[in-house]
Amino acid sequence: MRMRYILTPLLLLSMAFSALAQKGDTLWVKPQDLNINGLQTGDYTYLISHHKPKDSVATGMALVKMNVKRATYHNKAAIVVKQQWEKDSIIHTSYSVFDAKDFSTLLHDTYWSQLGYALIFDFETRTFSSRKVLQDIPDSIKTSCEEEFAGSFGKYNLNWHEDLIIYSMLPYKENRTFMINYYDPGFGKPEEVAYTVSGSDILTDRGGEKIPCWVLSYENQDGRERFWISKKNNEVLKEEDYGKQSGGYRFKYKLGVSGT
């Protein structure tokens, strides 16, 4: 359900070796690479807008409310992330619990209104279940979720659904490529994805102050994603997605930051 453009395994391999050969700074992200202790907690909000073409009037908007907090979960230190997406009604919610030591997923409970059911992944017991909201989960979807979930335990991975949180913990460096083994529970198998620090840019806050940012990017035959991350505190301030087939753009802005 997330707007992302899936990289094929061969393209990923090509990108990884190309980055390694040309830039010499490729980091396969492991727990020790994440600044988990420095993770900012609290409430914050993003505005999503859709455009076609890029500079046109928005064809749709949604508000993303997020909360990040430290907690205790089953007698272990944990980080809990809640999301609620609102349009004319609540279109998506998620409740995710992560191990505070390595940010591995302990629990992921997610609901999309257009699906009509919730998906619950318990990584501690390695069990998958669903919850009827508007309708029951189709048997074919249940089977694929179970199979993909079972296959996610082969090696360390990060939860793709919380990518904005993850990007706030990465060790940025000019021209660095991050190889991240991502798993978005319920929406595909784990896969290794290459994100590259493609440059620097400036955003402007509501007071007119300039904010130096890293630009984190990936692109394939279907489209591209770019993220603007504050060099001062690693906050993800802006996201831009482009789909080549649709010709459409999706922007995500952290409230308090202008779109330029």
Q: For 134-192, what is each residue's pLDDT tens digit? A: 999 999 999 999 999 999 999 999 999 999 999 999 999 999 999 999 999 999 999 99
195-205 average pLDDT score: 94
Given a cut of 60, whether residue 259 has pLDDT beyond it is no
Residue 56 within any structural domain of the chain:
yes
Tell me the residue range of the domain where 250 lies.
9-254
Residue 2 within any structural domain of the chain:
no
Predicted confidence at residue 189, as pLDDT, reads 95
Distance CA 94, CA 71 (A): 17
The two three-digit tokens of residue 96, written as one number: 């995710």
Closest CA to 44 of 71, 60, 63: 63
106-135 average pLDDT score: 96
Distance CA 162, CA 185 (A): 11
Which helix (H) or strand (E) segment is 41 a member of? Answer: none
Which of 134-138, 236-240, 247-251 shows the lowest mean pLDDT across its residues? 247-251
Distance CA 116, CA 253 (A): 27
Average pLDDT of the chain, as a whole number: 89
Q: 104 exposed, middle or buried (CB, 10 Å; 0-12, 13-18, 19+)?
A: middle
- Max avg pLDDT among 67-71, 222-226, 240-244: 67-71
Residue 225 within any structural domain of the chain:
yes
> Could you report the per-residue pLDDT of 53-64, keeping only the tens digit for each?
787 887 889 999
Termini Cα distance of the chain: 27
Which of 10-14, 29-33, 135-139 shows the lowest mean pLDDT across its residues? 10-14
Residue 32 within any structural domain of the chain:
yes
Residue 96 within any structural domain of the chain:
yes
Q: Which of the pair, 109 or 260, is modelled with greater confidence? A: 109
Residue 45 within any structural domain of the chain:
yes
Instruction: Give Cα separations from 237 to 17, 78, 158 (angstroms).
Output: 29, 25, 21
Percent of the chain with pLDDT over 70: 89
Cβ(73)–Cβ(100) below 8 Å: no
3-state secondary structure 233-246: CCCEEEEEEEECCC
What Rg, from alpha-carbon coordinates, does the chain have?
Answer: 18
User: Is 125 in a helix, a strand, or coil?
Assistant: coil
Given a cut of 90, whether residue 201 has pLDDT beyond it is yes
Residue 131 within any structural domain of the chain:
yes
Pairing relation of β-strands 26-28 and 177-183? parallel
Residue 1 within any structural domain of the chain:
no
Predicted confidence at residue 10, as pLDDT, reads 41
How many domains are there within the chain?
1
Distance CA 112, CA 156 (A): 26
Cβ(232)–Cβ(211) below 8 Å: yes
194-222 average pLDDT score: 92
φ/ψ region of 153 (left if φ > 0, alpha if ψ in -120 to 50, else beta) reads: alpha
